[in-house]
C-alpha cells in the first residue's frame, strides 16, 4: 500500500488533459478521498469505469468524470 501523501493532480491543476486511465491514487485525488476509500468503493461496486489489469486497478477517466457529474446536486440557479 502506498503511504506517501498525495497532492492534487498536476493535469487538473494546470488545466491539461487528463490521462485516459487513472491510478487509484489519482482517482482518490479527483474524488477528494483516500486510496483506501476508492478500493472500498471498487469492492462494493459503487464506482464506475473500473479496469482491472491483472492485480492492478485503473479507472477510465471519462467514465469517472461522467459519474461524478451525474452524482452532483443541481445548483440553486438551475
User: Hey, what domains does the chain have and what are their CATH numbers?
Assistant: 11-71 (1.10.10)
Per-residue pLDDT of the chain in tens (78 residues, 90 and over written 9): 455 454 455 445 445 678 999 999 999 999 999 999 999 999 999 999 999 999 999 999 999 999 999 988 777 775
- Please state, in angstroms and rounded to a whole number, the distance separating the CA atoms of residues 56 and 62: 19
- Residue pair 29/15 in contact by the 8 Å Cβ criterion: no
Global pTM reads 0.72
Q: How far is CA 43 from the centre of its chain?
A: 15
Amino acid at each position: 500500500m502506498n503511504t506517501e501523501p498525495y497532492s492534487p493532480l498536476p493535469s487538473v491543476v494546470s488545466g491539461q488533459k487528463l490521462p485516459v486511465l487513472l491510478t487509484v491514487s489519482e482517482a482518490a485525488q479527483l474524488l477528494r478521498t483516500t486510496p483506501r476509500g476508492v478500493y472500498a468503493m471498487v469492492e462494493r461496486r459503487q464506482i464506475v469505469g473500473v479496469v482491472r489489469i491483472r492485480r492492478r486497478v485503473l479507472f477510465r477517466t471519462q467514465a469517472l468524470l461522467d459519474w461524478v457529474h451525474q452524482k452532483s446536486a443541481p445548483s440553486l440557479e438551475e
